[in-house]
């Protein structure tokens, strides 16, 4: 029983990270129907950028206090991720706005390879995993339950908290704010939105900016939780997040978050209880994904296909 | 349209997962030329196959530089009459399939006399047959899986599979039990969990460890496997935590082992992690290896062995960007074995050609010299006769030698 609880907790922590990245996938898809495969790489770049902020920008005297260092690292990571994302949108995706859908999809794959190799070649030591400082309260909480113990670290709690707060804030912004309404309008019908005075390009860039900022923050959280960053993680977590977005229904914010947590929990529980153990835990994630797509192609919270005139 | 895009994306993602691929980099090191030597007959190439990128590159770069060092020294000493020696390094990215490509590329070059490598036993499995097809001698500084020399039935019916294959390090059927003796006997751990990465090296090593540990009276509390690309090990730690192990034996390499050790501590499992030569690298500690973690490695500690001092001094004098790491001295010895045998094969006036390959293999088999890691000599299977092993312990943030010896059953 304690093991089950521990694995649920592990799943929530992993799920929180996946959810933060999945939000970027789902928003970009919602507005321009592009599966932005480079988004996982933006997350990875965010991790490296926050590490660079720590190593090369912050003065030594600031590094000991996490409430100074961590927010600055998050800002550094998110800022670089946002700038990168805006550049990618401007030069790789915008010229293909009216091209067949497959063209931007393949472009996204290309961008993802470029970003990964660029970091690998240019960041010092990035050909191998680079150690990441645990710039947060390094404390473990252990609970006695059902004759066993469940342990959760402070960084893990932070991860869950940030992902949930991030999703709620995003949902509020999109439903309540003026820019959020513009986003929804552009998603529904970009041409009509333009006639109503919405600038679609500005709205689309803002969508990329929000997604990238969340991915950048996810990069910092990943770093302090796992205590290293590697150029490979962008691809791996990008696939997790993409799967979460599809599972929850691409375009839906609630879906991305629930999809993320579902994938985290499926991964840890199947590693514990299913055949093959942790070696085959990824298999079960995709089994679930396929099952959902067969019976509910639009995902758990997605809207069914609208036919556009 | 919308669903089609999602479907296409799912397909693409699946295809990518299947073939997560990278790029090959080619680097040709130029040997330090000494004009006093006669090099009129051209350049002969010693191939190096080892990871130059990715998680294990710290080990692979040490192998490359040390081979380069041996070739440079040979050029200065005119070790091979009439020829200049060059090192051609191929990045195998620690994967068997890329290693096979590298081996194919090297074996298509008639000037490649021999190959130093590989680092990973799993890569060696795919490289061996390709090099054998061209009769190219291969000396590994680091493969420790016993089946590479003595076949799958190495314990009961050893049979040499590849007469072109040699190695200068001790094997896992010695290393695993040596670790078990230490962990169960000396450290007194009786309830041990085993985690592996599921690869040839890690699984083989852990199986040898388990046999001896059970013989010595320890209980294997739990078993787990981690994925090769995994970075979050909370799941596998959760599966072993319930059995309250007092130590973890990890069959695999440091890119996973370091974070694993750290995450175990985070999960409230503050027990030592022990592994083989695959985790014996400073990077293990950088990535989260904690005080008291243990590793066995082949040979005696490089820094203390008198025969190694000349190597260490020469390596440091070259100012390579990377450390020589766990296998530098072995790579140096392996390269020297090939060079010395090549010198013997060609003699004073010989000309290199494919007809010389069989002689070269024979001469490597008979090679015997005092190397940086001790005596370098091969038995009838191509294994090193040097069976020395050392247990290292993380002490004050560094690997420190704890016990050196041989495994005596």
pLDDT digits (tens, 9 = 90+) for B25-77: 334 444 444 456 788 888 999 999 999 987 788 899 999 999 999 999 999 98
Cross-chain residue pair A278–B287, CB shorter than 8 Å: no
Q: Report the C-alpha gap between A217 and B176 in whole angstroms.
A: 42
Instruction: With cut-offs at 50, 70 and 90, classify the pLDDT of residue B357.
Output: very high
Task: Indicate if ipTM > 0.85.
Answer: no
* Nearest-Cα residue of chain B relative to residue A130: B287
Decide if B148 contacts B128 (C-beta within 8 A): yes
A289 at interface of B, judged by CB pairs closer than 8 A: yes
Which residues of chain B have a CB within 8 Å of the CB of A15? none
Cβ-proximal residues to A285 (8 Å cutoff; 6+ apart), any chain:
A240, A243, A263, A266, A267, A270
pTM of the model: 0.82
Residue whose entry in the numeric block shows the structure tokens 């820019």 = A179
Residue A216 lies in a domain: yes
B396 at interface of A, judged by CB pairs closer than 8 A: no
Decide if A198 contacts A3 (C-beta within 8 A): no
Cross-chain residue pair A278–B235, CB shorter than 8 Å: yes
Decide if A277 contacts B227 (C-beta within 8 A): no
Cross-chain residue pair A129–B55, CB shorter than 8 Å: yes
Residue A42 lies in a domain: yes
Decide if A198 contacts A185 (C-beta within 8 A): yes
Q: Please report the residues numbered 200 through 239 in chain B whose beta carbons come closer than 8 angstroms to any beta carbon of chain A.
A: 224-227, 229-232, 234-236, 238-239
Instruction: Determine the pLDDT at residue A289.
Output: 86
Tell me the residue range of the domain where A34 lies.
20-235
* Nearest-Cα residue of chain A relative to residue B321: A125
Given B229, B242, B263, which is nearest A3 (Cβ)? B242
> Which of the two residues, A32 and A306, has the higher pLDDT score?
A32
Q: Report the C-alpha gap between A280 and A278 in whole angstroms.
A: 5
Buried b (16+ CB within 10 A) or exposed e, B153-165: ebeeebeebbbbb
- Which region among A125-139, A188-202, B81-95 has the lowest average model confidence (pLDDT)? A125-139
Triad B349, B353, B356: Cα angle to 5°: 80
Residue A306 lies in a domain: no
Bridge-based pairing of strands B374-377 and B368-371 is: antiparallel
A151 at interface of B, judged by CB pairs closer than 8 A: yes
Residue A135 lies in a domain: yes
Q: Quick one: B409 exposed, middle or buried, by C-beta within 10 A (0-12, 13-18, 19+)?
A: exposed
Pair of tokens at residue B368:
């015997």
Residue A165 lies in a domain: yes
B206-241 tens-digit pLDDT: 999 999 999 999 999 999 998 877 888 988 998 898
All domains of chain B in start order, with CATH: 42-170+302-378 (3.40.50.2300), 173-297+390-406 (3.40.50.2300)
B156 at interface of A, judged by CB pairs closer than 8 A: no
Bridge-based pairing of strands B247-251 and B273-275 is: parallel
B115, β-bridge pairs: B47, B138
Q: Quick one: B304 exposed, middle or buried, by C-beta within 10 A (0-12, 13-18, 19+)?
A: exposed
Residue A5 lies in a domain: no
Q: Report the C-alpha gap between A254 and B374 in whole angstroms.
A: 64
Instruction: Determine the pLDDT at residue A237.
Output: 93
Tell me which of A12, A22, A99, A127 to substitute to probe the interface with B (most B C-beta atoms closer than 10 Å): A127
| Gap from B126 CA to chain A (nearest CA, Å) | 23
Mean pLDDT, range B299-303, rounded to an integer: 77
Cross-chain residue pair B12–A109, CB shorter than 8 Å: yes
Residue A296 lies in a domain: no
Which residues of chain A have a CB within 8 Å of the CB of B230? 278
Number of domains in chain A: 1
Instruction: Determine the pLDDT at residue B374.
Output: 83
Given B5, B55, B58, which is nearest A101 (Cβ)? B5
Pair of tokens at residue A82:
């946002």
Q: Please report the residues numbered 52 through 81 in chain A whose beta carbons come closer than 8 angstroms to any beta carbon of chain B.
A: none
Which residues of chain A have a CB within 8 Å of the CB of B287? 129, 131, 227-228
Residue A281 lies in a domain: no
């Amino acid at each position: 029983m304690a093991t089950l609880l521990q694995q649920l907790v592990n799943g929530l922590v992993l799920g929180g990270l996946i959810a933060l990245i999945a939000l970027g996938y789902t928003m970009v898809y919602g507005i321009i129907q592009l599966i932005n495969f480079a988004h996982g790489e933006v997350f990875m770049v965010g991790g490296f950028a926050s590490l660079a902020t720590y190593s090369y920008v912050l003065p030594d005297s600031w590094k000991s206090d996490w409430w100074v260092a961590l927010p600055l690292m998050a800002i550094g990571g998110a800022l670089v991720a946002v700038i990168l994302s805006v550049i990618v949108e401007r030069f790789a995706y915008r010229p293909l706005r009216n091209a067949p859908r497959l063209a931007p999809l393949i472009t996204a794959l290309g961008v993802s390879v470029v970003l990964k190799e660029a970091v690998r070649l240019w960041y010092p030591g990035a050909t191998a995993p680079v150690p990441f400082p645990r710039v947060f309260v390094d404390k473990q909480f252990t609970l006695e339950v059902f004759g066993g113990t469940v342990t959760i670290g402070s960084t893990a709690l932070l991860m869950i908290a940030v992902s949930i707060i991030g999703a709620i804030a995003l949902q509020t912004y999109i439903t309540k704010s003026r820019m959020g309404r513009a986003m929804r309008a552009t998603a529904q019908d970009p041409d009509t939105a333009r006639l109503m005075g919405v600038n679609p390009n500005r709205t689309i860039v803002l969508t990329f900016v929000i997604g990238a900022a969340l991915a950048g923050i996810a990069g910092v959280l990943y770093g302090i939780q796992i205590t290293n960053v590697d150029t490979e993680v962008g691809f791996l977590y990008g696939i997790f997040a993409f799967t979460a977005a599809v599972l929850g229904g691409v375009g839906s914010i609630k879906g991305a978050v629930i999809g993320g947590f579902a994938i985290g929990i499926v991964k840890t529980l199947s590693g514990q209880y299913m055949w093959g153990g942790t070696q085959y835990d990824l298999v079960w994630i995709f089994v679930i994904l396929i099952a959902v797509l067969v019976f509910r192609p639009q995902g758990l919270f997605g809207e069914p296909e609208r036919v556009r005139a | 349209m919308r669903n089609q895009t999602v479907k296409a994306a799912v397909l693409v993602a699946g295809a990518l997962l299947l073939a997560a691929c990278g790029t090959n980099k080619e680097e040709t090191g130029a040997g330090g030329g000494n004009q006093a030597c006669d090099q009129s007959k051209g350049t002969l190439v010693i191939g190096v196959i080892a990871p130059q990128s990715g998680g294990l590159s710290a080990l692979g770069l040490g192998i490359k530089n040390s081979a380069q060092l041996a070739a440079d020294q040979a050029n200065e000493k005119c070790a091979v009459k009439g020829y200049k020696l060059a090192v051609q390094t191929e990045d195998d990215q620690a994967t068997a399939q890329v290693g096979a490509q590298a081996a194919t590329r090297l074996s298509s070059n008639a000037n490649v006399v021999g190959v130093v490598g590989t680092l990973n036993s799993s890569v060696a499995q795919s490289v061996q047959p390709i090099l054998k097809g061209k009769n190219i001698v291969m000396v590994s500084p680091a493969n420790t899986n016993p089946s590479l020399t003595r076949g799958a039935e190495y314990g009961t019916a050893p049979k040499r599979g590849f007469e072109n294959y040699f190695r200068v390090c001790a094997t896992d059927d010695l290393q695993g039990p040596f670790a078990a003796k230490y962990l169960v006997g000396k450290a007194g751990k009786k309830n041990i969990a085993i985690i592996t990465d599921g690869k040839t090296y890690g699984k083989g090593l852990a199986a040898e460890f388990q046999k001896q540990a059970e013989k010595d009276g320890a209980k294997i509390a739990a078993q787990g496997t981690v994925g090769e690309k995994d970075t979050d090990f909370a799941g596998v730690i959760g599966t072993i935590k319930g059995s309250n192990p007092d130590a973890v034996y990890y069959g695999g390499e440091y890119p996973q082992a370091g974070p694993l050790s750290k995450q175990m501590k985070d999960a409230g499992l503050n027990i030592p992690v022990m592994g083989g030569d695959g985790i014996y690298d400073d990077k293990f500690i950088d990535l989260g290896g904690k005080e008291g973690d243990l590793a066995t490695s082949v040979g005696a500690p490089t820094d203390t062995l008198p025969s190694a001092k000349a190597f260490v001094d020469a390596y440091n004098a070259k100012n390579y960007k990377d450390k020589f790491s766990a296998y530098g001295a072995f790579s140096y010895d392996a390269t020297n074995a090939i060079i010395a045998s090549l010198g013997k094969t060609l003699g004073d006036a010989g000309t290199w050609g494919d007809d010389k390959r069989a002689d070269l293999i024979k001469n490597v088999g008979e090679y015997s010299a005092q190397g940086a890691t001790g005596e370098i000599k091969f038995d009838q299977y191509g294994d090193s006769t040097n069976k020395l092993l050392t247990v290292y312990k993380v002490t004050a943030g560094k690997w420190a030698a704890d016990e050196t010896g041989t495994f005596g059953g």
